[in-house]
Amino acid sequence: MNKRYYMPIVKIFLFGIDNAGKTALSMTIKNEKVVNLAPTTAFNISKWVIKALEFAVWDAPGQIKYREEWIDGLDQAQVLMFVLDTTDAARFDESKRELDRILNDQQAARVPLVFCFHKMDLPEAKANHAKAQEVFKLSEIRNRKVYSFDTSIKNPESLNPVKDALVFIIFHISRLEPKK
C-alpha cells in the first residue's frame, strides 16, 4: 500500500538589520531575478518550495523603526533565519543585540536558527569573517540547534547547503502523519 504523508507548511522568520540582503537572499532562493530593491518597509510574505516542501517566509524589515514589529513575524515561527551583512563590521554589535533580543524572546524558545554570514563574495566580508564569528559566538548559543553558512547571491550554489539544512530541519521538527 502506498502511503502519502502530509507535511505542513513551515514558517520561517527571516530577519536581520537593514541592508543585510535578506530580500535579495529570499529572491535568490526562490530563483527569482534580483533587481534594484528598495528597502523593505513591511513584512514580505512569500513561499519557498525546496525539494517539494513548502515554507512560508516572513521577510522582516530591518530598519530601527520597524524592528518592534518583528514580534508579529516571530509568532509561530518554526525556523529563525538571521542574515548578517558580513561586509559591515561597524554594525556587528548592533546586529548581535538584535539577534539576542529575538533569541531571548519566549516565542523563539528552542526554535532552530539558520545564520547566514552574507555577502561572502566580497573582499570586505572575507576580511571580516573571523571578527563576525568572534562577535556572534554561535557555538555558545544554547537550547536550540544552530546552523551557520557563508552565503552570497552572486554565488547561488552557496545557498544549496542552506536549502539542505531547511529540509533537514523540517524532517526533524515535523511529525509526519499518513494521510487517510
**Is residue 7 over pLDDT 80?**
no
**Residue 178: pLDDT above 50?**
no
Residue 44: helix, strand or coil by DSSP? strand
For 5-175, CATH number? 3.40.50.300
The beta strands (E) that lie in 52-118 are given as 53-59, 79-85, 113-118
d(CA 35, CA 56): 22
What is the average per-residue pLDDT within 150-160? 95
Q: What percent of the chain has pLDDT over 90?
A: 80
Q: What is the pLDDT of residues 39-62, one digit of tens each?
A: 899 999 999 999 888 999 999 999
Average pLDDT of 1-23?
82
Pure H helices in 12-122: 22-29, 70-74, 92-103
